[in-house]
Amino acid sequence: MTRRSFSRLSTYAAAIGLLAITAIKIAPSLAAEDAAIIPPPAADVQSANGIQTVVLAGGCFWGVQGVFQHTAGVVNAVSGYSGGSKTTADYQMVSTGTTGHAESVEVKFDPKKISYGKILQIFFSVVHDPTQLNRQGPDSGTQYRSAIFTTSDEQKKVADAYIAQLNAAKVYRKPIVTKVGALEGFFAAEAYHQDYLTLHPNQPYIAYNDIPKVENLKKIFAENYIEKPTLVSSIKVTN
């Protein structure tokens, strides 16, 4: 079921409870199947000083944000939109798939605590399936595409090289379709989308699709996992 299908169940409390319990029970087995254990990038950014930023798109931003909020060294992860103009950076408009935006997460990280390469390794491993074109799991449309919006030439070179490395090693059954390009704009999503995984852990879509991603982070990248998420609730998010 899609995210919208799950939302329509919100008026049926009993149904939600049953679905959430069922989803939680089957999620661990899905997690083991969906996560990919992959090698780290052969090359990494070497010249980073101070807090760095990269914007990542990998399906519904709820799960992408949730994973990076549980990642040590990430100082902020904000859900939003990239790839289109500010005038159409609105959830209802983006959901039509006609604005050019991708649901994205702006990841700010401290390179002294976590490298850009490790951010990419987590992104390609537990955050999403980079071989799915214009979709992710139950959600389809260009707004759910896989993309890396870079903030430096070095970031782009490392990302391109890593994709080539993973494709050459045939880590996945199909080629990676992730697009890499310079960030032209990031627009924070509406407040109700922020910290969504933490605030709604039993929502069926989250329980079924996204909680397993965080569990995979904890399992596969234990040294990079933090139990308490770094939330944006108390941070002023502006466009």
Q: Domain-by-domain residue ranges, the chain?
A: 40-199
**CA distances (Å), 127 to each of 25, 62, 212, 224, 238, in order?**
20, 11, 10, 14, 25
Pairing of the two strands 102-109 and 179-182: unpaired
CATH of 40-199, one of 3.30.1060.10, 1.10.357.10, 2.160.20.10, 3.20.20.70: 3.30.1060.10
Residue 219 clears pLDDT 90, i.e. is over it: yes
**CA distances (Å), 152 to each of 75, 83, 149, 238, in order?**
19, 16, 9, 22
Summarised one tens digit per residue, pLDDT across range 68-101 is: 999 999 999 999 999 999 999 999 999 999 999 9
Summarised one tens digit per residue, pLDDT across range 116-152 is: 999 999 999 999 999 999 999 899 999 999 999 999 9
Instruction: Report the Cα–Cα distance between both ends of the chain, in Å, rounded.
Output: 32
Instruction: Please give the Cα distance from 79 to 104 (Å, whole number).
Output: 6
| Count of CB atoms situated within 10 Å of the CB of 128 | 25
Q: Locate 233 and state its tokens.
A: 């609730």
pLDDT band at 23 (very low <50, low <70, confident <90, very high): very low
More confident residue, 203 or 19: 203
| Known catalytic residue at 60 | yes
| pLDDT at residue 235, rounded to an integer | 58
Q: Average pLDDT in the 20-45 region?
A: 62
Residue 15 clears pLDDT 90, i.e. is over it: no
**Which residues neighbour 97 within 8 Å (Cβ) at sequence distance 6 or greater?**
141, 142, 143
Whole-prediction pTM:
0.87
Closest by alpha carbon to 54, among 8, 100, 119, 5?
119
- Which single residue is written with the structure tokens 């010249």? 47
Residue 208 clears pLDDT 70, i.e. is over it: yes
Instruction: Please give the DSSP secondary-structure letter assigned to residue 131.
Output: T
Which residue of the set 27, 60, 77, 188 is catalytic?
A: 60
pLDDT band at 28 (very low <50, low <70, confident <90, very high): very low
More confident residue, 1 or 135: 135
Instruction: Please give the Cα distance from 158 to 164 (Å, whole number).
Output: 10
State the chain's mean pLDDT as an integer. 87
Q: Locate 237 and state its tokens.
A: 């998010």
Instruction: Please give the DSSP secondary-structure letter assigned to residue 225.
Output: B
